[in-house]
Structure 1
């Protein structure tokens, strides 16, 4: 007689079988559609747990969710390794030597900590927004507003960290270097407010905010352009990482500002390869590479950082990050309130 084997059933199989199949763009409201993506949509209005389980389901946002999640895990682990093994400091503080007691403030590491925090915030908000947004119209708007805030503070933290750790000293003292951080803050806030406003007004059908975000992305890494163009690569520990960072940033900005390749063949890139997925994959890779470059530049410049900028200026720069975060949050909340008022008025009518 043939032998029979009884394998234990998969724990995930019954849960995945309970998920409804993906549908076409005709089966979801226009708000939840992406241009030139015709299939792979999850049904709207399902319970929260089904969208959480859809993390293991193949749909047109699978790669968009997994790429920032994996990048967040890499960023977290690498930061912990850096803080413990390389003496990077934890939360802007470090242990004093045997002659000291308690903790001593390490102001020079605060911008780096803010960068890591903002990177994790952006990656987490991005993954949550694309995973959970089909739940309802209210969830869709709220999650993407939060995602816009995370993206804005991440871009400003990039500008702040690159300005302090990676820019050339001559560029920092130039007129462009002196107005760089205020200009980066204004562009980041404008990008956040414009993205939220466009979402309220047209639900992403307008592409102006995409071009503005791409411009902000490029401007945030502009110190690297100058450094790569004017300095010998042998004078820095991170030229190849910065070059790779620039390439990934430009590519991610390109795919975010256009709807290619799905524009060329609608329906062919629904599950894999459309511009939204490519943007998130490239930006996630850029964040990992950028963090590694900043770690090395931080250790390279750390001894002279307080002398070059001064402790007060470093603290002021970190305060500007908190100010920008508050401004972006207030802009998102104001537009969300306007959206709720519009919805209430329409329901009463």
Structure 2
């Protein structure tokens, strides 16, 4: 892929770093104004906030004996992983063309790991009464692992279409993230729009509603390339869609975390009386499978970068 076309974004004209930057130059760019600077900081700063919340939760939890809290700890851990990996991906993405792709392959894997963490927490604390202990509930997390694996593969594959088929690339990538989110959110949609059940009628509902709205806004910004598409060059450094997308995603995660924490606390008695908490092997197995399958996808597509000839070279050969 021609380097310039790989690094340039729609509607963003200026502020690009050198496409062959050193690792040190990439780190120093955190303190320089480029079109990536706020992309980095809008995830790096929230990482420390989520890490503080995770460490605080670890400190007050009897990890060995309180199995009811394990899904929450796993979810909070994955909520730290994805903003950290994303900020690193944006930091080092200008080292080379292939480095850029590999950085975002890892970013996609981290996002899908967070998707699985959300599914585990939803399964443990947020399911509406009518869906608890159903067949759907039994296979919900297993299918979330499959969805995370497929999503990582599809989103990685989409990067190979960026130059020749940019619209198809965008459609595939949006769908790759939309369908795991939709699957994870089915219990929430049932709870919000159909029937929540007596135990799920609590203060968490408002946070779930806000989380859904903020996620939809983030999806719109990601796919629409607004406002920079309407005024190319005006939002190169501050205010372009990816920065706004990052902010919305972080706010959505914060709202989601508050909702899950409320459900965990307010529904504890009912949930413990109605269903069994996750075992360690169930949680560890799901997370381990997701990591193995996602890393396999990332390794496969990273290797494919070096096997695939440049588009210009393919034209000459033809």
TM-score, normalised to structure 2's length? 0.86
Q: 1:328 maps to which residue?
A: 294
> Quick one: distance in 1 between partners of 2:23 and 2:270?
50
- How far off its partner does 1:315 sit? 3.8
- How far off its partner does 1:322 sit? 1.7
Q: Provide closer, same or farther for how the CA distance between residues 78 and 167 of structure 1 changes in structure 2, counting only shifts above 3 A.
A: same
The answer to whether structure 1 residue 254 and structure 2 residue 254 are counterparts is: no
> Quick one: distance in 1 between partners of 2:182 and 2:15?
31
- How far off its partner does 1:194 sit? 0.7
Q: 2:10 maps to which residue?
A: 35
> Quick one: distance in 2 between partners of 1:106 and 1:233?
21
> Quick one: distance in 2 between partners of 1:72 and 1:196?
24
CA contact (8 A) 1:111 1:318 kept: no
> Quick one: distance in 1 between partners of 2:249 and 2:13?
24
Q: Residue 105 of structure 2: which of 145, 158, 170 is its match?
A: 145
Q: Residue 301 of structure 1: which of 267, 273, 276 is its match?
A: 267
> Quick one: distance in 2 between partners of 1:255 and 1:79?
28
> Quick one: distance in 1 between partners of 2:280 and 2:253?
23
2:267 counterpart SS class:
helix
Consecutive unaligned residues of structure 2, counting only runs of 5 or more, are none
Q: Residue 170 of structure 1: which of 130, 142, 156 is its match?
A: 130
Q: 1:62 maps to which residue?
A: 37
Q: Provide closer, same or farther for how the CA distance between residues 135 and 281 of structure 1 changes in structure 2, counting only shifts above 3 A.
A: same
The answer to whether structure 1 residue 51 and structure 2 residue 36 are counterparts is: no
Q: 1:74 maps to which residue?
A: 49
1:105 counterpart SS class:
coil
1:263 counterpart SS class:
coil
> Quick one: distance in 1 between partners of 2:187 and 2:243?
27
Q: Provide closer, same or farther for how the CA distance between residues 217 and 275 of structure 1 changes in structure 2, counting only shifts above 3 A.
A: farther
- How far off its partner does 1:106 sit? 2.4
- How far off its partner does 1:133 sit? 0.4
Q: 2:203 maps to which residue?
A: 237
Q: Provide closer, same or farther for how the CA distance between residues 303 and 343 of structure 1 changes in structure 2, counting only shifts above 3 A.
A: farther
CA contact (8 A) 1:214 1:256 kept: no
Q: Residue 148 of structure 2: which of 151, 166, 188 is its match?
A: 188
The answer to whether structure 1 residue 209 and structure 2 residue 184 are counterparts is: no
Q: 1:12 maps to which residue?
A: none
- How far off its partner does 1:176 sit? 4.3
CA contact (8 A) 1:71 1:285 kept: no
Q: Provide closer, same or farther for how the CA distance between residues 274 and 222 of structure 1 changes in structure 2, counting only shifts above 3 A.
A: farther
> Quick one: distance in 1 between partners of 2:158 and 2:212?
28
CA contact (8 A) 1:214 1:257 kept: no
> Quick one: distance in 2 between partners of 1:51 and 1:274?
20
Q: Provide closer, same or farther for how the CA distance between residues 76 and 158 of structure 1 changes in structure 2, counting only shifts above 3 A.
A: same
Q: Provide closer, same or farther for how the CA distance between residues 247 and 88 of structure 1 changes in structure 2, counting only shifts above 3 A.
A: farther
CA contact (8 A) 1:218 1:250 kept: no
CA contact (8 A) 1:107 1:311 kept: yes
TM-score, normalised to structure 1's length? 0.79
Please give the root-mean-square deviation of Cα atoms over the aligned residues, in Å: 2.7
- How far off its partner does 1:299 sit? 2.3
- How far off its partner does 1:330 sit? 0.6
CA contact (8 A) 1:129 1:140 kept: yes
Relative contact order, higher structure (CA 8 A, sep 6+): 2
- How far off its partner does 1:312 sit? 5.9
Q: Larger Cα Rg: Structure 1 or Structure 2?
A: 1
